[in-house]
Amino acid sequence: MTDIEIVNADGGSPVLSFAGGALAFARSKGISKTFISISHEQNFAIAFVVLERDFSWRVQRTNGIAYKDRGMACKIIQFKPRAEKNEVFSNKLLARAIEYSIKNDKHAFIHFIDDLYTNNAISLNDIEELKKYLEKRSRSGDVDMTYFLANIYHKSFQTEEYDRAKLLYEKAIDMGSVEALTDLGNLYFLGCGVKKSLKKARELYEMAAKENDRDALHNLACMYYDGVGVAKNLLKAMQWYEKAAELGNPNSIFNLGRMYFYGEATKQDYATAKKYYEKAAKLGDASAFYELGAMYANGEGCEIDFGKALQYFELANRCGVEDAPAAIKAVKNHMKRL
């Protein structure tokens, strides 16, 4: 009871004073002002209290839908391999990435390699060691290692190596790799090592989609969402996202949340958006961490809770979301003013 007191302001009017747990609660809910009116007569007393939030303050949102898995590095780092002591690479994380991808999602490997290249987190020696291992396994007829080797050349961002990636994807397709259909489609979509052809990309995506490749389903959804290579159709985009989401594609789950948040091809529904973001977050989607932080900070579809907002922003920051550090700073600074 001592956490909340009624004290007199300079002019003599009553005001609320918070301490301890009550102060922490008020800050977490964004309470910026309090008003109290007290009246009493003989043995009876009555008080009216109004708590006011500052709705003029908002955390800025990230822009655009998700195209690739931004949280793959976090997933692989947290993955517990069978026996790290038997790894064949000096870089244990690479061996872990291969094991994780084979066990959980073969597309995970290319997302992980993309993260390493983008963040300059892999050495040339590690890459060469990995290539030699994958080349050997590919020559022995291992379709997964052939596909992973294609991923290495694909993500090198060197024109001369895109040609090698294309040949390896085609080899993997001949060996039965559905995932290679999708990534060969990505080469045609971007014009990497091949003449750019959105038509060819869509055809490859559709072939892989028939085999329930979730990344292909996701890519088709993005094409309809953006109107690239097809007529823009948000309803079709949502339908493709739903199919990919059913197979566990975290980006599609996130994008469905975004469509519900903004009311695209459906009625705006913050509660449903939050459910999709939470589902994507459980799969490690970095963008979902950020959006949930923003929802709790802004009170969108939920009560304002700066404590939860900070938790989600911290998760987003660990996964490299660019806007997360600024959001963390903004929330902490705002809490100090409350």
Side-chain-side CA neighbours of 2 within 13 Å: the count stands at 1
Q: What is the pLDDT of residues 102-111, one digit of tens each?
A: 888 888 888 8
Q: What is the pLDDT of residues 142-186, one digit of tens each?
A: 999 999 999 999 987 677 789 999 999 999 999 999 999 999 999
Using an 8 Å Cβ cutoff, are 320 and 70 in contact? yes
* Domains along the chain with CATH numbers: 4-53 (no CATH), 54-69+214-338 (1.25.40.10), 71-211 (1.25.40)
Cα(143)–Cα(120) distance, integer angstroms: 28
Cα(259)–Cα(264) distance, integer angstroms: 5
Cα(53)–Cα(337) distance, integer angstroms: 12
Please, which residues bridge with residue 196 across strands?
none
Secondary structure (H, E, C), 22-72: HHHHHHHCCEEEEEEEEEEECCEEEEEEEEEECCCCCCCCCCCCCCCCCCH
Among candidate residues 106, 29, 112, the one with its CA nearest the CA of residue 74: 112
Q: What is the pLDDT of residues 176-228, one digit of tens each?
A: 999 999 999 999 999 998 999 999 999 999 999 999 999 999 999 999 999 99
Q: What is the pLDDT of residues 40-87, one digit of tens each?
A: 777 777 877 777 554 444 555 555 555 555 444 445 444 455 544 444
